[in-house]
Amino acid sequence: MVLERLLQRFQKKLLDNNVNVLSSINGRSDKTKKLAKNSGIDLVNSFEDVALSSDILISTVSPFEALEISKKIWGIN
């Protein structure tokens, strides 16, 4: 819960400062998609679309997930 609130504050700060925030809808629930859309986050189909559309990529995941997600995104085994 604490991490989730921290991430929400981070996203709000970015949006409040006119930073375009993208997120992938791949694997997300309808509830999560609706919350993201209502918060002003732009939704794209995949992580690859996020990466290709971004000048800077910030992945806001828990530390426990970071390594596996990095491997998945960059195709590292």
Beta carbons within 8 Å of 37's beta carbon, 6+ residues apart = 43
The token pair at 24 is: 């992938």
Total structural domains in the chain? Answer: 1
Instruction: Note the pLDDT of residue 44.
Output: 93
Instruction: Note the pLDDT of residue 16.
Output: 93
DSSP 18-69: T---EEE-TT--HHHHHHHHHHTPEEES-HHHHHHT-SS------HHHHHHH
State pTM to two decimals.
Answer: 0.67
For the chain, 77 residues long, give each residue's pLDDT as a single digit of tens: 677 788 788 888 999 999 998 888 888 889 888 888 888 889 999 888 988 899 988 877 778 888 887 787 777 77
Structural domain that includes position 30? 2-74
